[in-house]
Amino acid sequence: MSLKVEIAAVREYALHNEQYSRKNSVRVFGITEDDGENVEGKVMESFKSNLKVDVSSNDVEVTHRIGH
């Protein structure tokens, strides 16, 4: 296998993994930041109160804040 073919295969594999890792992701904006906060709890409470969607902690793999 040539180096170009191998690089193309690795690139395709990386893109597939990147898409797979985001398939259950959601971005949430407008949740205030507080000292000692529980980000996951704040997000789930926001879903429940604002969207009327009941989300459990089993439904969320990772919750973290991104830049504004």
Predicted structure pTM score: 0.57
Render the burial of 34-55: b for 16+ CB within 10 Å, e for the rest. eeeeebeebbbeebeeeeeeeb
Q: Where are the beta strands (DSSP E) in 1-68?
A: none
Q: Is the pLDDT of residue 68 over 60?
A: no
> Helices H, strands E: what count in the chain?
2, 0
Judged by DSSP in three states, 41 sits in helix
- Tens digits of residue pLDDT in 14-47: 988 887 777 777 778 888 888 888 888 888 898 9
